[in-house]
Structure 1
């Protein structure tokens, strides 16, 4: 093999490694779907697909039933505070914690069918509680 062939082979190999590195890095860069860097985003499809509800509040609650939304299948929490999904139950204070989404956390498939899909279910950020 002459020196030109060796250099060409080395260059092609190097380019393949760089391209492979870029491709391997791409899914993690896009893994959380389109969610603002200062928001909580919940999706009714796994892998950050389907309908999305987004909130930038760090101390309030919202009900998914106020939106055209099924139930929480995946989430990305870019807020500096945790978010908690609260569901009603028959004992005071009438709601219980069903799931916590930690600050900076995400899941492409939370695996809890129906979470956040009932009429009175609430998602609260920070220290907010569904009862006020």
Structure 2
């Protein structure tokens, strides 16, 4: 099935594996919380157990170096895509309030990005991601 929209998560390629997974999980939660129409229906198994709904379409994960992350961030903001950010300082905090304070303390052009999530129409998202490759 081909969707008209695309969800992309871009992770800095030089992070430790646990950091990449953590960033991806947090950014996925931002997309799920911020874009109502992408959530599917709850799941159920044949035994009658129910499970939480998930995002209804694939999420593509890309690798990027710091300059590419900055470039994609600028493009996403210019094109007004719903965007989530994860910055280096968020590895040092233990809660959402401190995470928000860390982001708020830095201007957009100086954010020490380690990950981004963007959502939007497929073709404009593809143009925004031009030059990136899927995470290996």
**Which of the five TM-score ranges fits, normalised by the shorter chain?**
under 0.3
TM-score, with structure 2 as normaliser: 0.27
The structure whose Rg is larger is 1
The structure whose residues are more often helix, as a share, is: 2
Higher relative contact order (CA 8 A, sep 6+): 2
